[in-house]
Chains A and B, each alone.
Chain A
Amino acid sequence: QQQVKQSPQSLIVQKGGISIINCAYENTAFDYFPWYQQFPGKGPALLIAIRPDVSEKKEGRFTISFNKSAKQFSLHIMDSQPGDSATYFCAASSWSWGKFQFGAGTQVVVTP
């Protein structure tokens, strides 16, 4: 049972464009929603995270939008750069649950 569903599986965007990745969750007990970025041959690294008391969080070119009622959250990468080419994972967790549930990942390719 996949508790966090992520889409699309892959996307190609031109340099300067906007990349949008969506995630949906089922467990209403989740209270922490991070996004991780993974480059080939490396482990995932935290990119940005949000808690359900806010609807949006922005860090540089990366923005999380959060819709609690729809149980959805998304990552927007503005002005995409070739260096952003990586696999992005959304995740969800609960402080009382003790484990992070990851989405299946989205491979983003930014073309020059």
Chain B
Amino acid sequence: DSGVTQTPKHLITATGQRVTLRCSPRSGDLSVYWYQQSLDQGLQFLIQYYNGEERAKGNILERFSAQQFPDLHSELNLSSLELGDSALYFCASSVSQSASGELFFGEGSRLTVL
């Protein structure tokens, strides 16, 4: 158990809908990372937050947004969903803001868009 909690574990929705994925980092970790894992694309970095502030941005679509709350949990919002958004979404946390230490991953949220 990594200590990172993601909910929901599975989500099935229709195209055009909006969903919110939630992540609670390990106790004491200030950084939260979001990754998208598709079958043929590996782990794609979406965005990182550190202590409530956006720290780094990857290939995150404009239809996607995220935030980190004062209690350090994070939410990833996906809107106007398309079939291609079906993927496993991982949250990871680390203690520091710099990307030079261990990332602890949750078990992911599997999104299926029909």
Query: Residues of A at under 8 Å CB distance from B?
Result: 6, 31-32, 34, 36, 41-46, 49, 89, 93-105
Which listed residue (B42, B92, B98, B103) contacts A103, Cβ 8 A? Answer: B42
Q: Kindly supply a per-residue 1/0 record for chain B positions 86-113, scoring 1 wherever the CB is within 8 Å of any chain A CB and 0 otherwise.
A: 0000101000011111110111100000
Tier of interface size on chain B: 20 to 34
Which listed residue (B43, B56, B102, B108) contacts A102, Cβ 8 A? Answer: B43
Taking CB as reference atom, which chain B residue is nearest A2?
Answer: B42
Which listed residue (B43, B56, B107) contacts A98, Cβ 8 A? Answer: B56
- The A/B interface has a contact count, at CB < 8 Å, of 67
Q: Is the CB of B107 within 8 A of A41?
A: yes
Taking CB as reference atom, which chain A residue is nearest B45?
Answer: A99
Residues of B within 8 A of A103 (CB): 42
Q: Is the CB of A100 within 8 A of B107?
A: no
Interface residues of B in 1-46 (CB under 8 A from A): 2, 4, 33, 35, 41-45
Q: Is the CB of B102 within 8 A of A34?
A: yes
Q: Is the CB of B2 within 8 A of A43?
A: yes
Taking CB as reference atom, which chain B residue is nearest A99?
Answer: B56
Which listed residue (A41, A46, A96, A105) contacts B43, Cβ 8 A? Answer: A105
Which listed residue (A43, A49, A98) contacts B106, Cβ 8 A? Answer: A43
Interface residues of B in 30-68 (CB under 8 A from A): 33, 35, 41-45, 48, 55-56, 58
Complex: A100 Cα to B92 Cα, angstroms: 11
Q: Is the CB of B43 within 8 A of A31?
A: no
Residues of B within 8 A of A95 (CB): 98-100
Closest 7 CB pairs of A and B: A43-B105, A98-B56, A93-B99, A95-B100, A95-B98, A104-B42, A102-B43
Q: Is the CB of A97 within 8 A of B92?
A: no
Complex: A105 Cα to B97 Cα, angstroms: 25
